[in-house]
Structure 1
Amino acid sequence: MKKENIYETMENDVLNANLDEAEKSKLLKNIMRLKDKKVNIMITGATGCGKSSTINALFDMEVAKVGVGVDPETMDIEKYELNNLTLWDTPGLGDGKEADNRHAKNIIKKLAEVDENGDALIDLVLVILDGGTRDLGTSYELINSVIIPNLGEDKKNRILVAINQADVAMKGRYWDYEKNEPMDKLKEFLDNKVISVKNRIKEATGVDIEPIYYSAGFKEEGEEQSRPYNLSKLLYYIVKATPTEKRAVYVNNTNEDENMWRDNDDLLDYGEETRKSIMDSVVEGASRGVDVGGDIGGEIGGIFGKTGERIGRAVGSVVGGVIGAVGGFIGGFFS
């Protein structure tokens, strides 16, 4: 089934709303502006860290268009296009000094690119670490010497470090396979690893990073996909690190398999927080410059209440939990 496009949904609801033509026009122009927003994420890490499994777990890769840079010097970086979301999948580092130097130069070159407005092309760099290895030297070199020095002034908000393969961090011991979560001993180990990574990066660069750990799961040919852990948490951090006006992009692209999002730690309701972040983006962007007082405010609240319900259906169970049932929340924005 083809997903219902969030922007088309909003446009239809506005056209059918009880508003004067001037207010409809403003709303539609704002929605068109949101529709043009693009998100570019660079995904990088050492060889074997699980970049591909993470991409496949997070996003609906069946509709992705795969391409490469038109510049022969950056042909190693794969480009996946999912509607207005573009993923730049860089080669893994750790396969030799010569190859690593070439890949590092290509990463730096990509980070230096700007969009048509002169802003940095890459909105967010997701650096994936291998939780199953103690040797993170290549990853630290990538983060400290390649990524962070080339992120410009807004370094802290343009990088996310995530430790994958949490389930094999202690060689598979202390993982509760029935509940699909770490036991206390493994949880303590992973928490300490997060602190260690944070401190190493801070000491080397002066930048405060808040790493998280997760497991993207895996899928062997002919086998069922194993359930990820903390994937909703990873999505929440990705959305939170994305510029507010661009967050709606994720609605049309997240994986619709509810089993992928089921298991997470209980530190936060990541689905609810992600829903709020995305709907903040939708409401703020679509209503900019529109008088939301009085009856008009109530009508607009109703529009986005209906839109939110339809978004929940459009993106399936997982993001239905993330963004569904927004009527009351959106209504509160305009009351």
Structure 2
Amino acid sequence: MKKESIFEAMENDIINAKIDEVEKNKLLKNVMRMKEQKINIMITGTTGCGKSSTINALFDTEVAKVGVGVDPETMEIEKYELDNLILWDTPGLGDGKEADNRHAKNIIKKLAEVDNKGNALIDLVLVILDGSSRDLGTSYELINNVIIPNLGEDKENRILVAINQADMAMKGRNWDFNENKPNDKLKEFLEEKVRSVKNRIYEGTGVSVEPIYYSAGYKEEGEVQNRPYNLSKLLYYIVKATPANKRVVYVDNINSDESMWKDDDELLDYGKETRQSVFDSIVEGASEGADVGERIGGIFGTAGKKVGRIIGGAIGAVVGFLGGIFG
């Protein structure tokens, strides 16, 4: 049985709400407009950086429709469609100059594409670095010479740099496998790597980025999925970098396995921050032009709990996403 989508939940909540028909119609039209929004994310990096494991950890890719670009020149860029969330997975760089040049041209071509409103097609570029590698030269070439120069306006808000395989950053040493987190020595090493990456990109482009480190975990055939680390933080950064009017699209496509989101650096409650960010998007998008005021919180009871349950696990379901925001 197919699960109810966030939009179906919103529509049901609106239909059953005790408000007049004029306001119901306004809200329903707004939800219809929200349903038409699409998010396009490009995921890129060097060969072996863990793009596939990151995609599989973050999103419900088992339901994805897989295809390729319609333009023969970009056929090597794989396209994953998860309802209105579209992922563009580029080939890994670092396998030879000729191949890298071809891949770079394809990336530039894709970044130049616009949607039917004339806006850039790609909302966000997620660049994944290999935290286990000491040589990030190819990654800097990709970021400084290919990605950033072709992002157009608002560069800083359209790129996210994430350092994967944090657990292998010191050849697996100093990782607490029982607690699934770095010890103090490794944490210091990773934080220095973050600073180094940030400085190197700024020196090369003048663009300030805020890299994060994480581990996507891995799943060998027939084996249990290793728990990721800082995946909830990565999701938070992705959602935060997404235009507010599109954030609700993530809800139906996020990996619903609660164990994937358990371990992080605890600097923030990333699940709570993500829920609030998505919910703010729902409230703003659905209530635009409607005279419902603070009652919007009472309207989206079912949909609000759905947001909390999927993104925040049991806490979101128990506390109730809407109750936390609207009191």
Q: Does TM-score exceed 0.5, indicating one fold?
A: yes
Letter of the structure 2 residue corresponding to residue 331 of structure 1: F
Aligned to 2:164: 164
Measure the CA separation in 2 of the matches of 1:145 and 1:309. Answer: 44
Q: Distance in 1 between matches of 2:88 and 2:159?
A: 14
Change (3 A) 1:241 1:109: same
Give me the whole-angstrom Cα distance separating, in 2, the residues matched to 1:46 and 1:319: 36
**Identical positions, percent:** 75
**How far apart are 1:292 and its partner, in Å?**
2.7
Structure 2 equivalent of residue 112 of structure 1: 112
What is residue 233 of structure 2 aligned with on the other side? 233
Q: 1:327 is matched with which residue? A: 322
Partner of 1:276: 276
User: Do the aligned residues in 1 keep the contact of 2:13 with 2:301 (CA within 8 Å)?
Assistant: no
Secondary structure at 1:163 match in 2: strand
Q: Which residue of 2 aligns with 1:100?
A: 100
Letter aligned with residue 36 of structure 2? D
Given the alignment of the two structures, is residue 174 of structure 1 paired with residue 168 of structure 2, yes or no? no
Structure 1 residues 150 and 271, CA, compared in 2 at 3 Å: closer, same or farther? same
* 8 Å CA contact retained: 1:44, 1:125: yes
Distance in 1, matches of 2:55 and 2:191, equals: 24
Query: Contact 2:131 / 2:169 at 8 angstroms: preserved in 1?
Result: yes
SS across alignment from 2:289: coil
**Offset of residue 316 of structure 1:** 7.3
Deviations along 1:206-226, one digit per CA (max 9) or x if unpaired, are 000000000000011111110
Distance in 1 between the 2:321 and 2:69 partners? 39
* 2:304–2:321 contact (8 Å) kept in structure 1: yes
Which amino acid in the other structure matches residue 329 of structure 1? G
- The aligned counterpart of 1:6 is 6
Query: Do structure 1's residue 307 and structure 2's residue 300 form an aligned pair?
Result: no
Residues 202 and 51 from structure 1, CA distance in 2 versus in 1: closer, same or farther, beyond 3 angstroms?
A: same
- TM-score (norm: length of structure 1): 0.94
Matched position secondary structure for 1:191: helix
Deviation of residue 319 (structure 1)?
Answer: 8.3
Where do 4+ consecutive residues of structure 1 move more than 2 Å?
A: 310-313, 315-324, 329-332
Cα 1:162–1:273 change in 2 (3 A) is: same
Query: TM-score of the superposition, structure 2-length normalised?
Result: 0.97
CA distances 1:273-317 after superposition (whole Å, capped 9, x unpaired): 001100000000000011134xxx43x32112332114445x376
List gaps (5 residues or longer) in structure 2: none
Tell me which residue corresponds to 2:57: 57
Contact in 2 for aligned 1:271/1:323 (Cα 8 Å):
no
Q: Work out the CA distance in 2 between the residues paired with 1:323 and 1:245.
A: 27
| Partners of 2:157 and 2:222 in 1: CA distance | 39
Q: Deviations over 1:220-279 (max 9, x none)?
A: 111111010000000000000000000001100010111111100011110010011000
Indicate whether 1:223 and 2:223 are aligned. yes
Q: Which residue of 1 aligns with 2:291?
A: 291
The answer to whether the 8 A contact 1:218-1:226 is kept is: yes
> What is the CA-CA distance between 1:322 and the residue it aligns to?
9.0
Partner of 1:227, secondary structure, is coil
Aligned residues of 1:271 and 1:322 also touching (Cα < 8 A): no
Q: 1:167 to 1:33 in 2, by over 3 A?
A: same
Contact 1:274 1:322 in 2 (8 A): no
> After superposition, what is the alpha-carbon deviation per residue over 1:72-128, rounded to whole angstroms, capped at 9, x for unaligned?
100000000001000000000001011000000000000000001100000000000
Q: Which position in structure 2 is the counterpart of 1:252?
A: 252
Q: Please give the alpha-carbon distance, in whole angstroms, between the structure 2 residues aligned to 1:243 and 1:70.
A: 26
Q: Which runs of 5+ in 1 are unaligned?
A: none
RMSD: 1.6
1:263 paired with 2:258, answer no
Q: Partners in 2 of 1:104 and 1:29 — Cα distance?
A: 41
Separation in 1 of the partners of 2:101 and 2:317?
40
Distance 1:70 1:316, change over 3 A: same
Post-superposition Cα deviations, 1:145-184, rounded to whole Å, max 9, x if no partner, equal 0000000011000000000000000000000000000000
